[in-house]
Structure 1
Amino acid sequence: MDTEEQENELVALQSIFSSEEFARHESKSSGELRVSVELPSGYAVTLAEDDALKQCKISFLPPLRLNFGLPEDYPSRSPPSFSLSCNWLTHNQLAALGAHLTDLYRATGGDVVLFSWVQFLREDTLAFLNLNSVLVLPNVPSTPYNSQESIHAALSERKSSQTALTSGAENVQTFFLDDEKRVKGAGDNAPETFEERGPFSGLSLNPAQRLLSEILTHDAAQGQKVFQSTVYDCAVCFMSYLGSECVQIQECGHVFCQACLAEFCKLQIREGNVLGVTCAQADCTALPTQAQVESLVGEELFRRYDRLLLQHSLDCMPDVMYCPRPSCASPVVREEASGVALCSVCGFAFCVTCKKTYHGTDDCRPKRLLKSLQKEDSEQGNAELPQSVEGMKALWDDFASGSKQRRRLLVSRYGQKGLFQSLEDCLSQGWIGSNSKNCPRCFCRIEKNFGCNIMTCSQCRQQFCWVCLAVLSYEKSLQHFQDSSCSRY
């Protein structure tokens, strides 16, 4: 009768739990259950470190491991022999749980109890140990609890049933010897679905720090599993996808399908707008991780993204300039008080003012010219120039068509340097704006002076249409002019 009930219970466990939660050993009367404790929202683990508390919120804890063996007289007379192990609970806490499991068997009056044990460990462990909201990590390695610790006391109290208990003790001893072999890796009975623990054993961390690392790693892995099996709506195409086909921006939590976010990132990188590689949600400036960008756009575009991002960062640094040698052009960090910069790549030493070979501490020609212009300009008027383009053009027309006396008056009023330099800059920018367009990929200014409307950027070599600035492929550039209103010439 007991043998039949044991078999029925083990078959039921196999049908209820996955292979990651339950493994039946080759011995028909033993196995291992891995029980994931249910955590309330906002649950945290706390680590005491250097007179301070480090607290991390988590959603998953590593499972409790319940190894059990079923004596011949289970469930009618004897409880299962078992060991309970968990790296985030102390031995005393495990012993309290183990004693309660034994009490649960006694309360059944001889019924099967393994499923009830699992339910208790999953739903009531935290409340039973008064760990409802915060878990303080122990600073000493945890040791497993096994039911042998209480059997010796039971043997002395139950002399009248010496034969039955001796038989049960022999079964327990045999079971735990097998379990020790499984832990050491010497036996062949270990289930292949359960991985070996201790990935942080090579790090120089104390037990509590190593435990926190294991918990955070497990929490991230379980969170990813849940994400991949959940259905999400893409915020771009509004279609529903499994999480395994989506990407979540960690900083903001927005979710997009891989195809939409990949196309969005590729477009920004091709256009040279690396600062635009952000969350695709409107008005959201959260950034995807470097690993996410690389997996979305591929190796070639990611190298361009990485290079442009580095270049933008260097351009924003006031103490960074570039080697003037065209064959090098490497970034160089210069000292603020020094007039010389040394390229660490090609070894070229150059003047930070004129970008020529370093000529010593004497003032270089650009400095002397600047000083003379400043002196000359200081001796003349300093009236404010017009602020608008139209005003500058009117001033230039007045100067160009005026008499010598009128020109002298304008120079004395505005200063020679301010007048001519500002006019030249203004008119040059106006001409550039009227006679050139931006490359749609790198935004370099392009002038078209002859030929057809198929343009090739001299900087990034991208082909595009001069009329509508559409990006063209080298293989199908002519099709653009056949299927649109743009003319080839």
Structure 2
Amino acid sequence: MAAASAVASSSSSPALEPHPDLSPGLSSSSVASSSSSSSRDEGARGVSCEGGGGDDVFDLDAPWVAAAEAESRLEEAAMAAAAARVGLCCAEEKGKGEEEEEDEIRDNRQRQEDELMALEAIYGDDLAVFGKKGGLHYFEIYIHYDLNDGAEVCAKLSSANEKNPKDGRCCDGIEGHGDEPDEFSYTCNFEYLPPLVLTCLLPLSYPSKDPPYFTVTVKWMDGPNVSQLCKMLDTIWAELPGQEVVYQWVESLRNSSRSYLWFDGKITLGPDTPMQKGDNRAISRSLSLESVIPSMLSYSSKKRYQAFLEDLHMCMICLSQSKGSNFIWLPCQHLFCVKCLGTLCRMHVKEGSVFQLVCPDTKCNASIPPYVLKRLLTEDEFERWDRLTLEKALDSMSDVVYCPRCVIGCLEDEDNNARCPKCSFFFCSFCKEPCHPRRQCLTPEEKFQRRQASGRMSEREVAQEILNIKALYNDVRLCPKCRMAISKTAGCNKMVCGNCGQFFCFRCGKAIKGYDHFSECKLFAPRDISAWERQMEEQYGNHVRLSLRPVGGTIRCPKCREKNFKDDEKYIFCWACRANYCTMCRREVQDKRGHFGSPECVGLEDF
């Protein structure tokens, strides 16, 4: 991944903006951005779904070609060369016949067409043939710089106007570098550099007498370096007069042009100096580095994305290979095919576990961003995800509670009370009962005792309430992360929250990651049953066993063990000791009215 690492970054330094004439349509990024933020931006651009194709190669390279300027200079060169050869041609024509001249032109044309055909076969899409201009062959060849290991570009900027005269430092806090005190530099890393463009116009006298008219366009390179490349091409023609040289030119530019730029393992550009008259065939950087470098960064990023779309990648979920256009490139730089990641996202949205919508990589926990979910989910699924995310975010807020009557979110005050904006119910946020200032909330046992004393609970409701309280004390814990109540029905003490995916110990309630925690907490520890739970288990079991015996059967007295006739499900009357006993608590009952299932019967008075 290419990332911009700004040596001279500063919040006060001006942002580097691309010139509109240089790179229309290319988004600029501040050269002073860090490498991590650059990676995040690239990851955001690298999301593709089915059918993604990316920009065309020549559309991406077009801002760097300067075709109009190259064409204009070639026409000037052709006109100057034609004027210079007028007198020479007139002298030569006296000694050469008209037929011989046509044969030479015909031979040159054939050699030019053969050369163009060979170039097209060799360079493919890098050769753009534009037909003829004024009866002469005209074409452009792109030479791309694809740097697998990346290239470090050191750009030297001038800060004469930003220098602090008191301490000799720049206003943005960057120390000066280089020979001049008003210069500083920053460094960027690139995987792709904008192309070098060789534009040629083949005269009728090529290759027998004259070389091609050419321009070398490198819109990001300094002028002296481009002029040296033009001189290198002149040298090759001087060594191979009368031969086709375009192939040798292209190969020399591909292999040797970097040597004019690479010094000590990096490319050095700048500093910006007043334009000096150089080789007219050299089209170099005409704008400041502050305008050019952001466009170079954008070009490298888009080329990397284009290469991603065209390459084959393996999905680490289904282990199948496909083109990048069928993959999702997450901001964390992990790749997964659209089908697998879409299935995973739909599953979590359906189950409501939206907090588990993270990168599927086992060593990564980065969240899947909303713009990726919008591509993968249907409109209804995305709306459900949006709603669930809001609800769970509210649930995780400590000052948001829900009205027990109409389930509307409310804000609690400093006294842990809240008022519902819909039904105006004023309630305690802890117990969800009506507000009770300066009094503690009722425990589940006390609530059960009150309901039992009111006489509005049936026997079935009493038994069910006992089971509910037992389950509350024994099988429910709150998730330490999202505070969701979770019940354990079986298994070990390592629990996972179905809401947020947090692992925690059911025994002590602490958040954990692996099994190291259970060296202190037992993984399969026996349940710690309280005295109240043990009593409830015994009494409820007795009641169930006795209720299963049919009326008319015999039951032994719990005191004297004599057999008695069963004529009631709630009480036993012993004929031997002449006493009444409750079938639930097995105690002697003097007054049978309202005892069965009362707080005294179930043992709540002792707690």
The interval holding the TM-score normalised by the smaller chain is 0.5 to 0.7
CA distance in 2, matches of 1:95, 1:108: 20
Instruction: Give the SS at the match of 1:61.
Output: strand
CA contact (8 A) 2:206 2:212 kept: yes
Equivalent residue, structure 2, for 1:208? 289
Cα 1:238/1:423, change in 2 over 3 Å: closer
Equivalent residue, structure 1, for 2:110? 4
Equivalent residue, structure 1, for 2:145? 37
- 1:93 and 2:93 correspond: no
Equivalent residue, structure 1, for 2:341? 261
CA contact (8 A) 1:249 1:287 kept: no
The one-letter code of the counterpart of 1:81 is: Y
Cα 1:136/1:310, change in 2 over 3 Å: farther
Deviations 1:388-437 (A, max 9, x none): xxxx99xx8xxx9xxxxxxxxxxxxxxxxxxxxx99963795999499xx
Cα 1:295/1:96, change in 2 over 3 Å: same
Residue 145 of structure 1: CA displacement? 9.6
Q: Select which of 240, 243, 246 maps to 1:114.
A: 246
The one-letter code of the counterpart of 1:32 is: E
Instruction: Give the SS at the match of 2:417.
Output: coil
Residue 259 of structure 1: CA displacement? 0.9
CA contact (8 A) 1:98 1:146 kept: no
Equivalent residue, structure 1, for 2:418? 355
CA distance in 1, matches of 2:278, 2:200: 9
Deviations 1:43-85 (A, max 9, x none): 2334567427654432111111222212222223322221222
Deviations 1:320-357 (A, max 9, x none): 6479799996798x9xxxx6xxxxxxxxxxx8842238
Instruction: Give the SS at the match of 1:292.
Output: helix
Equivalent residue, structure 1, for 2:262? 130
Deviations 1:234-262 (A, max 9, x none): 212222222222223341x4332211111
CA-atom RMSD in angstroms = 4.8
Q: Select which of 358, 361, 364 maps to 1:281.
A: 361
Aligned runs of 1:17-416 on 2, under 5 Å? 17-19=123-125, 21-27=127-133, 28-47=136-155, 50=172, 51=174, 54-131=186-263, 133-138=265-270, 148=280, 207-251=288-332, 253-313=333-393, 315-316=395-396, 321=400, 353-356=416-419, 369=436, 371-373=438-440
CA contact (8 A) 2:193 2:300 kept: yes
CA distance in 2, matches of 1:24, 1:258: 40
Indicate the structure whose relative CO is greater, using CA pairs within 8 Å and at least 6 residues apart: 2
CA contact (8 A) 1:270 1:442 kept: no
CA contact (8 A) 1:36 1:63 kept: yes
CA contact (8 A) 2:313 2:321 kept: yes
CA contact (8 A) 1:86 1:142 kept: no
Cα 1:365/1:81, change in 2 over 3 Å: closer
Instruction: Give the SS at the match of 1:67.
Output: strand
CA distance in 2, matches of 1:369, 1:280: 48
Aligned runs of 1:426-465 on 2, under 5 Å? 426=473, 429=476, 433=487
CA distance in 2, matches of 1:280, 1:373: 46
The one-letter code of the counterpart of 1:30 is: Y
Give the TM-score taking structure 2 as reference length.
Answer: 0.44
Cα 1:298/1:331, change in 2 over 3 Å: farther
Answer 1 or 2: which has greater helix percent: 1
CA distance in 1, matches of 2:369, 2:277: 43
Instruction: Give the SS at the match of 1:62.
Output: strand
Cα 1:61/1:32, change in 2 over 3 Å: same
The one-letter code of the counterpart of 1:60 is: Y
Instruction: Give the SS at the match of 1:57.
Output: strand
Cα 1:33/1:41, change in 2 over 3 Å: same
Cα 1:357/1:227, change in 2 over 3 Å: closer
The one-letter code of the counterpart of 1:128 is: Y
Deviations 1:275-297 (A, max 9, x none): 32222233432344433332222
Cα 1:42/1:31, change in 2 over 3 Å: closer
Cα 1:426/1:147, change in 2 over 3 Å: same
CA distance in 2, matches of 1:7, 1:20: 17
Moved more, 61-70 or 307-316: 307-316
Residue 41 of structure 1: CA displacement? 0.2
Instruction: Give the SS at the match of 1:97.
Output: helix
CA contact (8 A) 1:353 1:366 kept: yes
CA distance in 2, matches of 1:310, 1:366: 20
The one-letter code of the counterpart of 1:14 is: E
- 1:16 and 2:122 correspond: yes
CA contact (8 A) 2:198 2:217 kept: yes
Could you tell me which runs of 5 or more consecutive residues in structure 2 were left unpaired when the two chains were aligned: 1-106, 158-171, 176-184, 422-426, 450-468, 478-484, 490-496, 501-607
**Corresponding pairs, count:** 323
CA distance in 1, matches of 2:292, 2:405: 54
Give the TM-score taking structure 1 as reference length.
Answer: 0.53
| Percent of aligned positions that are identical | 21
CA distance in 2, matches of 1:225, 1:266: 28
CA contact (8 A) 2:202 2:212 kept: yes
Equivalent residue, structure 1, for 2:104? none
Residue 223 of structure 1: CA displacement? 1.6
CA contact (8 A) 2:403 2:420 kept: no
